[in-house]
Structure 1
């Protein structure tokens, strides 16, 4: 398959070539999830593949565009799961607590994926290329070299963007900005 040609239909050979990479991306991302998580990397890769295939726009420009879309899809899946985990399942087993205790509890149990996502959305508005590095590294599990190839920049640029982004996200999450 030509890396620069637009492709929207995958042959069996394309699927055999792309799926292991998609699965590896999912495995890298799942390494950052909380212990006891029931979602397995294979299930994340399958869900991402199904969502990408069922979406209306399947005309990815090239392999790099495909993997950027895959990382974004995995991010959305993990965010959806984190939001579902935060929802109360039954109202009957709730106990009354003072409001100050409830506020402290809510802050302490916030899902890291949701915190990173909220900060990443802000970073996208401020600096889209740096946000793309976070998306590809954190949610896509790509190496600096792979990110550089995907974005068409040097590996050193990716390192600088990543260092800046980590600091920016840390401050944003901690509320120090």
Structure 2
């Protein structure tokens, strides 16, 4: 595992230095972890969501490799990937809301099996807004929520990624959940 992490870190540095082939070589090394993240995100989405885990990975990966980020290593890449996946889903929810308000010019017949849950999209947007506010106040708690709730990572994995104790992860997770619940309750329905 350490050899794979070292290889991923070298490829991330090569990407930063402009090696276009490094991104292709990196994907197989991180795909399993990205798929686990994407699957975790998609389990929390509505059942009829038009994105699938693979499409979420592809969209997030394209956004990641086309960014000039000073990668600190594989774990940093996974943390940023979790954030990007969340943003892809938020963008998707926003687009869905725009369509529901008449933002799409083409009129089509609605089929019941294709109906999209307005409530679920609203929940995603409300959580995103509250999580962004938490990030301003306590970035570490926001990162713990992102990795635990959206990424499906264990307390131990989060501790390793953020380089903090499991006890700190548990405390941040508990406090952030309480804070987010209260914050979401304040948001207009």
Closer, same or farther: CA 65–92 of 1 in aligned 2, 3 Å: closer
Aligned partner of 2:63 among 51, 55, 62? 51
What is the CA–CA distance in structure 2 between the aligned matches of 1:136 and 1:91, rounded to whole Å?
37
Aligned partner of 2:177 among 166, 171, 174? 166
TM-score by length of 2: 0.76
Give the superposition deviation at 1:110. 6.0
Is 1:134 the equivalent of 2:140?
no
Give the superposition deviation at 1:160. 1.1
Return 5+ residue gaps in structure 1 as ranges. 94-106
TM-score by length of 1: 0.80
Give the superposition deviation at 1:47. 0.8
Aligned partner of 2:13 among 7, 14, 39? 7
Return 5+ residue gaps in structure 2 as ranges. 16-21, 108-117
* 2:53 match: 41
Is 1:152 the equivalent of 2:163?
yes
Q: Which has the higher helix share?
A: 2
State the structure with bigger RCO (CA 8 A, min sep 6), 1 or 2.
1
RMSD over aligned Cα, in angstroms? 2.6
SS at match of 2:176: helix
Number of residue-to-residue matches in the alignment: 162
Contact 2:141 2:176 survives alignment (8 Å)? yes
Give the superposition deviation at 1:7. 2.2
